[in-house]
Amino acid sequence: SFPPGVLTLCRQVPAWGTAARQPPSLPLTPCRAFSNNRIQVELDESSGVATMKFKSPPVNSLSLDFLTEFCISLEKLENDRACRGVIFTSAVPKIFSSGLDITEMCGKSTEHYSEFWRAVQEMWLRVYGSNMVTVAAINGSSPAGGCLVALSCDYRIMVNNPKFSIGLNEAQLGIVAPFWFKDTFVNTVGHRVAECSLQLGSLHPAPKAHELGLVDELVPEEKLQEKAVAVMAQWLALPDHARQLTKSMMRKAVLDRLVANREEDVQNFVNFVSKESIQKSLRMYMEMLKKKKS
Amino acid sequence: SFPPGVLTLCRQVPAWGTAARQPPSLPLTPCRAFSNNRIQVELDESSGVATMKFKSPPVNSLSLDFLTEFCISLEKLENDRACRGVIFTSAVPKIFSSGLDITEMCGKSTEHYSEFWRAVQEMWLRVYGSNMVTVAAINGSSPAGGCLVALSCDYRIMVNNPKFSIGLNEAQLGIVAPFWFKDTFVNTVGHRVAECSLQLGSLHPAPKAHELGLVDELVPEEKLQEKAVAVMAQWLALPDHARQLTKSMMRKAVLDRLVANREEDVQNFVNFVSKESIQKSLRMYMEMLKKKKS
Amino acid sequence: SFPPGVLTLCRQVPAWGTAARQPPSLPLTPCRAFSNNRIQVELDESSGVATMKFKSPPVNSLSLDFLTEFCISLEKLENDRACRGVIFTSAVPKIFSSGLDITEMCGKSTEHYSEFWRAVQEMWLRVYGSNMVTVAAINGSSPAGGCLVALSCDYRIMVNNPKFSIGLNEAQLGIVAPFWFKDTFVNTVGHRVAECSLQLGSLHPAPKAHELGLVDELVPEEKLQEKAVAVMAQWLALPDHARQLTKSMMRKAVLDRLVANREEDVQNFVNFVSKESIQKSLRMYMEMLKKKKS
């Protein structure tokens, strides 16, 4: 039931990981509910809506293991005809996802950096290009890579709590968001808001994020699940085929840009993160986080 | 008095229709007022402003005949030095235009589909690329192709009635707006609003349409004509030459994209609409419309 | 301390002027304060923030001499490691800058037009592509080229006085803003506001300019300097390297477009401005300005 154009797009996306690290071959029987270590997945067969709940305390950081599990789970749902939409949310209080796991970018081998970055790319390609309706139910803060997950969905609902913030704050850490983070951001909030927010590394409190168009709707925390289900129902009321082709038309240019430059982008990341000045920045940032905790 | 750049652009646009269906050669005497079957045209010589009033009941649908008449009338005005601006409005109560005539897309030959689609392209190329100032005075609902006509103008004024709605709702019918509908929409409301509205096939009530930037102004029905004339006067206060070159600079990239891919776009439409699944969707939609009426 | 990517970008920008008109070689000792004829420059070493104050009465018009001095001063600051940000403001009451000096475009030789236009390009390339944080403290009206200077900064603060207006009003003079003025405008306010404002040659009063996103903030006149310093401090709190790379990522496409078409753009300007019809328009406009004054 997937339209040929969109399938072609997805097939252009190289299979996950490297030859040495293939995901396990997928079961042919449709999934109904499964839980691995870091993400709990439930599929409501009556509505065709799955929920992927991040439960990787303390902050749902996007480690290589998390990303691997994320991509495998999402691919299972993508290939399951009973599933038409997926809601992303968090099982960890106050945090949606803290973004890329900095420990994966610090003091590791260049091979490790490459593998990690390919997993980040894969995650984005799969969410931004998903044939399913994707809704982010953002029940906590969502900086950097966490914000990217939300931006890659079709719709963003955030808990109306000014203590929860969201944004691409890479510049605060002395690093630079890659061009496809930027492209996704510009497609959502426009060039000017993106330019300003990216340079300042802004983390916007929920109300400001809503005002800027970074999230589509604010709700009280106790209404979040209900609202996500209602929004999903509204999107699923449309015929899949037309909706998927329309989504592909809107997002294809930006997806294709990474697909065409994927290895170059890996190389850029590896070169950048391998610099001693960047390693130093990241170590300082981790020290600061540790001090904050204690 | 047309600037070379813009004229060149217009000449790149193939002449209307196929070799077998040329529009009648245009009169050299300037038109003042003429009415054919479906559109009433009046030119106020003192102001240089023409009004094209759609009077093709019940819903001003864009049939092949309507589009042919539309393009011939617009070309007459374009070539008339006494005419510098045109206001599009409807003579049919409660509806501006219902968009593409679905009967032209249902149960016809591929030749017919091709001819019809070229006429739709031609209409858009002529309005979006017009050297005249174009104002849409939207006095009723304006879905799909009707919305495209409005989006292609320089300025949109809509009657402030929440019962009147406007939008590119193709996805609701199981079909997909072509890329140049999308490009025109994105140029007007930005990427995010376009992405969301196109996937949901949203028809926005007038107040929401104004909020989103889909229309520029809302007025009470009895003030619509007056406001359209006032806006037109404001635009005509500028020197034509500079305004036309500026308009071309803003719209050329999007116009050129269709001009460069016109036949491919026809072929895509014909292939898509010829599919049995699409024919079925359209028949069901027409059945639904008939039931609504009775 | 400049990142390689951004430096490369800057080096792609041809050196100022023609071979025959090189800027004086720059002093190796860092500048602290210098004043030439038309722009007063002060560098606060403790904060690393310079102020460039336009003092070229009556209206700070961008003459060839003004632009030359502007580019030399800016380059000095760009190469001074003690300087990380620059605030542009005016020493002339009620006017930020009136834009391009029309006397440079009227009754001169084609060589003069070429030289003048290269200086306009150079100014924009240097400001829009600056590695420093650039803040416009707009304490007066800012039409046409004056608006471009402001648009090219990272942040715009304007005095909240509805008598002060800002915009790219070239169409009002019968001329057309070049594509890179347009690109800069679109990057700031989006396609639709740019399309409408450019065709109408709109000069927006400060409150409207703020509403449209053309300026980022409004303040009472007596708070302008204080606010500019505070905003600058906020931007300078970020690590230079990450901020500069991010800025380059956002602006490179538009900068590269002019760099790749620089000579063609000069030729277009010279051809356009040499037309008798355009010369006549400009003469009429200057007559009108003279009458206004007396």
pLDDT at C16: 30
Q: Which domains does chain A have, with CATH numbers?
A: 31-293 (3.90.226.10)
Tens of pLDDT, residues C265-278: 999 999 999 999 99
Is C194 part of the contact surface with chain B (CB cutoff 8 Å)? yes
Strand, helix or coil at B145?
helix
- Give the nearest partner residue to A241 out of B174, B199, B201, using CB atoms: B174
pLDDT mean across residues, chain B? 89
Measure CB to CB from residue A176 to each of C189, C234, C245 and give the nearest one: C245
Residue C72 has pLDDT above 70, yes or no: yes
Torsion angles phi and psi, residue A96, rounded to 5 = -80, -65
Q: List, for residues C91-144, the tens digit of each pLDDT value.
A: 999 999 999 999 999 999 999 999 999 999 999 999 999 999 999 999 999 999
* B194-222 pLDDT tens trace: 999 999 999 999 999 999 999 999 999 99
Strand, coil or helix: B156: strand
Flag the least confident range among A5-9, A162-166, B138-142, C225-229.
Answer: A5-9
Longest dimension (CA), chain C: 53
CB atoms within 10 A of CB C45: 13
pLDDT of residue C28: 41
Q: Check residue A13 and give its pLDDT.
A: 29
Closest chain A C-alpha to C190 CA, distance in angstroms: 7
Q: Which two tokens stand for residue B130?
A: 């017009």
Burial class (CB within 10 angstroms; exposed 0-12, middle 13-18, buried 19+) of B287 = exposed
pLDDT at A1: 31
**Binary contact (C187, A182; C-beta < 8 A):** no
Instruction: Measure C203 CA to nearest chain A CA, in Å.
Output: 20
Q: Say yes or no: C254 contacts chain A, CB-CB below 8 A.
A: no
- Which chain A residue is nearest to residue B186, measuring alpha carbons? A250
Pick C182's closest partner by Cβ from B155, B242, B249.
B249
Q: What is the mean pLDDT of residues A102-121?
A: 97
Task: Answer yes or no: A161 catalytic.
Answer: no
> Which pLDDT score is estimated for B291?
87
Smallest Cα distance from B279 to chain A, Å: 14
CB contact under 8 A, A176 and C249: yes
Whether A122 is a known active-site residue: answer no
Provide mean pLDDT across the span B98-125. Answer: 97
* Cα dihedral B241, B89, B164, B288 in deg (nearest 10): -120
Q: Does A129 touch chain C (CB under 8 A)?
A: no
Chain C residue numbers with beta carbons less than 8 Å from the beta carbon of B239 are 171, 174, 281
pLDDT at B9 over 50: no
- Report d(CA C132, CA C243) in Å as an integer: 9
Find the mean pLDDT for residues C219-244. 97
- At B32, the pLDDT band (50, 70, 90 cuts) reads low
Q: How confident is the model at residue B35 (pLDDT cuts 50, 70, 90)?
A: low
Nearest to A139 by CA among A87, A181, A92, A194: A92
Q: Is A265 on the interface with C (CB under 8 A)?
A: no
Pairs of residues, one from chain B and one from chain C, whose beta carbons lie less than 8 Å apart: 56
Please tell me the distance in Å from A192's CA to the nearest CA on chain B: 12
pLDDT of residue B231 exceeding 70, the answer is yes
Judging contacts by C-beta atoms under 8 Å, the chain A residues touching residue B182 are: 249-250
DSSP B137: E
DSSP H helical ranges for A166-239: 179-189, 191-200, 206-212, 224-236
Q: Looking at the partner chain, which of B186, B188, B245 has a beta carbon nearest the beta carbon of C176?
A: B245
For position B290, what pLDDT does the model report? Answer: 85
**ipTM for this model:** 0.88
Rounded mean pLDDT of B246-255? 98
Distances (CA, A) of C204 to A61, A164, B82, B236, C151: 46, 36, 31, 19, 14
The least confident of A33-37, B75-79, C107-111 is: A33-37
What's the CA gap between B186 and B193, in Å, rounded? 8
Assess whether pLDDT exceeds 90 at residue B176.
yes
What pLDDT was estimated at residue B289? 82
Cβ atoms within 10 Å of B99's Cβ, excluding its own: 24
Number of C-beta neighbours around residue C220 at 10 A: 10
Would you call C234 an interface residue with chain A, using a CB distance cutoff of 8 Å? yes
